[in-house]
Amino acid sequence: MIAFPFQQYLPGVAVSAALAVAATVVSSRYGAPAMLIGLLLGMACHFVSDIKRMRLGLDLMAGPALRVGVALLALRLTLTDLAQLGWQSVLFLVVAIVLTIVVGMIGARLLKVDRALGVLTGGAVAICGASAAMAIASVLPDSAYKQRLTSFTVIGVASFSTIAMIFYPVVGQYVALDHQAMGFFIGAAIHDVAQVVGAGYSVSLESGDTATLVKLFRVAMLIPVVGVISVWMTMSRSVPTASHRIPPVPLFLVGFLLLFGANSMEWIPPSLSHSLAGIAPILLLLAITALGMKTSLRDMMEIGPRPVILLGVETLFLAALVLTFLLLR
């Protein structure tokens, strides 16, 4: 009997898929973020990662599948979408993203936690929550500790994002934001895409459309941010005597840019573009369940309260920054 190469990956892929389906069902029933449920279910099945024949499939889902999913996010956005925001809003969003990541790095230093956690949490809060956390983690140095930090970041940003989805519309109404400004606030300050959509359209159709557009721009910023982090991490690990060559750009970043350009030029048929874009959240959910299975809950508990404080500070900083911009413009 001929053994196909994919057969060695099948057990781990099958388990990841089963947990992803379960997470989707629970999410649709109770309204909780699917990625958070997938991560928690994966962590509950951590013992699976100890089974040798599962490891290749789990590595495939947590690595290559994740990168393909991030690249496919490009199909949600075009240059026309970005033009609708206006240069002032675009410039502010870029500055806000950079400042939030810087606050994360400074906060990590002040709280005496790993600098990688500051980069992970800052990027996740600033850009697009769990997806950003996993994309940034993919260019950080490999270690068991990195998996632990990534899992914490996904749980943390999903939790803070859900809280923000409930309270940010109330805050916007309190400071008398109009529907467009409310949408901008929600889209610029809430971490995960699902919570942005939920909060935006709970206010009005105009707020929901604006929130989604702003959020998509933040998603697009994932690529330059991850590229800069990749270069920075590579150069900071290099020895002084090594030649200072430009580090190679991760292929999934190149794929994102190519797909974004092709989608903007309408080279991809709309039906195909929508279908491929729909695959992105599926791959990301598979990736997060696999990551969960590779993460020990006991190790997670050892992280302590300081990372939670860091995430809270980053979240409040971004919200305050966006509100200040809207009230002063």
Could you read off the pLDDT tens digit of each residue along the chain, which spans 329 residues? 344 567 889 999 999 999 999 999 998 888 777 877 888 898 889 899 889 899 899 988 887 887 888 788 788 777 787 777 788 898 999 999 999 999 999 999 999 988 888 999 999 999 988 778 888 887 877 766 777 888 888 888 888 887 888 889 999 999 989 999 999 999 999 987 777 877 888 888 888 888 888 887 888 788 888 888 887 877 765 434 334 444 455 677 788 888 888 988 989 998 999 899 889 888 888 988 888 888 777 766 666 789 889 999 999 999 999 999 999 87
The count of C-alpha atoms lying within 13 angstroms of the C-alpha of 130, restricted to the half-sphere facing its C-beta, is 33
Specify the DSSP class assigned to residue 73: G
Instruction: Report which of 170, 158, 161, 166 is spatially closest to residue 199, judged by C-alpha positions.
Output: 166
d(CA 190, CA 197): 10
**CA 90 to the chain's CA centroid:** 20
- Burial category of 242 from C-beta neighbours within 10 Å (exposed 0-12, middle 13-18, buried 19 and up): exposed
pLDDT of residue 46: 87
pTM comes to 0.74
* Residue where the block lists tokens 């949600």: 76
Contact 160/315 with Cβ under 8 angstroms?
A: yes
| pLDDT value at residue 50 | 87
CA atoms 75, 192, 67, 36: torsion sign: negative
Determine the residue type at 149.
Answer: L
Give 85's Cβ-side CA count (13 Å radius): 25
Q: How many residues does the chain have?
A: 329
Distance, CA of 53 to chain centre: 29
**Tokens representing residue 192 in the block:** 């995960």
Q: Is 28 exposed, middle or buried (0-12, 13-18, 19+ CB in 10 A)?
A: exposed
Separation of alpha carbons 204 and 185, rounded Å: 13
Q: For the stretch 54-73, what's the b/e string if a residue is b when 16 or more beta carbons lie within 10 angstroms of its beta carbon? A: bbebbbbbbeebbbbbbbbb
Closest Cα to residue 200, out of 155, 154, 158, 164? 164
d(CA 193, CA 186): 10
Q: From CA 306, how far away is CA 315, in angstroms rounded? A: 14
The residue whose two tokens read 């992803």 is 20
d(CA 141, CA 181): 40
